[in-house]
Amino acid sequence: MLKFVNKIKNGLKGSVTIPADKSISHRAVMFTSLAKGKSVIKNFSKGQDPLSSVSICKALGIDAEFENDLLIINSTGKLAAPKGILDCRNSGTTMRLMSGILAGQSFNSILTGDESLSNRPMKRIIEPLALMGAEILSNDYKAPLNIHGKNLHAINYTSKLASAQVKSCILLAGLNIEGKTSFTEPYISRNHTEIMLKYMGANIHTNNNSVTIEKSQLEPRTIEICGDISSAAYFIVAGLIVPNSKIILRNVGLNPTRTGIIEVAEKMGGNIEVLDKKTVSGEIVGDIQISYSDLKACIIEGEIIPRLIDELPVIAVLATQAEGTTVIKNAQDLRHKESDRIKAVVTEMKKIGADINETPDGFVINGKKLLTGGCEVETYHDHRLAMSLYVAGLICEKTVAIKDFEWVDISFPEFDRLFNSIIL
């Protein structure tokens, strides 16, 4: 689908309730599937990626049904051997977390994915799982993954990467085995797994950058899922760069391992205010108010990178409107997401007139630059590229046509409707 985006004349105004967090939705369905009894998940994401996790849990014998706005899970606490291949479609989180769950089962399973997922690196999970005694056959460390269920043993693993998917994979494998399994990462990545496993009664402890888990039987729970700050990010950036804007975003997850975008917006001089905070199902949630701002460039590097990794494409759009040179470093893993997001962002943003260049591990962006638009841009079948280019299109002089815009449905099917509701 070709999506045409035009320059906003009178600013963005009003409020938007941000839909459910994708990362937390994946975890909610997987973890309640492992808990014996009935769990209720409120506000489960309608994105295609979390729905891939639901399909796979069902294929593993779990009774998972939507009833109005609730996802009801009934589980015996045990998974059953699947009858066919488990298709993770575009979802890296599904593949990497399910591998940790499946490696220690008493049956074999095969995980596949679409073209993009089949090109993403799986060595990062296969290697530590193999150290635990797992047997996983792959296509040169890529999907499909042929997992032979084995009795695993606990390890202490130090990862070179700060990755919540790798961390979660190892912790989920450790949930089912005797002894203490620990995972240490260079910087803290998102900790939704740790929070939810604890909320469901697991024996799990965090100490700085290390997490330790022991064999635990999870208990069923009611879990309410907060809004996704990665989805809110498109509205945050749009509110900051579209002249005359003033918007409020409601029910946004504000877990500190995810709020790097707010810190960057503040550092750039953005008018952004967190209005009210509370805790829901173990996660911090609040409302955010954003208004159009004069922005200045900044350096983004180091420990903050895992806390804003998915927001970097739209932060690149933000930086085009900041006075000076913004440098984004240490983000080499962006090349291994749904697309090579460094190359893709630079190629497409140049087309619409941005002064942006690629480095091996990030971007150099010179602002403040008037974006011209008046062209067609590619999304590389990457939802975050599509949404970032839409936000850029809102300030382009001429119409931008975004190809394959339907890919936004991977994480945020409500995107277009919610943006239209704040365009005057």
| Residue numbers at the binding site for ligand S3P (CB under 6 A) | 23, 93, 163-165, 168, 189-190, 309-310, 333
Is 332 within 8 Å of 341 (Cβ atoms)? no
Closest CA to 56 of 40, 76, 36, 34: 34
**Angle, in degrees to the nearest 10, between helices 164-174 and 123-131:** 30
Which tokens belong to 298? 């900044």
DSSP letters, 218-286, are: ----EEEPPBPHHHHHHHHHHHHHSTT-EEEEEEEE--TTTTHHHHHHHHTT-EEEEEEEEEETTEEEE
Q: Which is nearer to ligand S3P, 105 or 163 (CB)?
A: 163
Q: How far is the CB of 24 from ligand S3P (least distance, A)?
A: 8
Q: How far is the CB of 370 from ligand S3P (least distance, A)?
A: 31
Q: Which is nearer to ligand S3P, 43 or 93 (CB)?
A: 93
Instruction: Classify residue 43 as left (phi > 0), alpha (psi -120 to 50) or beta.
Output: left
| Residues 79, 66: Cα–Cα separation, whole Å | 20
Q: Which is nearer to ligand S3P, 121 or 133 (CB)?
A: 121
State the catalytic residues. Answer: 310
β-sheet bridge partners, residue 68: none
Q: Which is nearer to ligand S3P, 89 or 190 (CB)?
A: 190
Is 304 within 8 Å of 186 (Cβ atoms)? no
Q: How far is the CB of 162 from ligand S3P (least distance, A)?
A: 7
Q: Which is nearer to ligand S3P, 52 or 93 (CB)?
A: 93
Q: How far is the CB of 27 from ligand S3P (least distance, A)?
A: 7
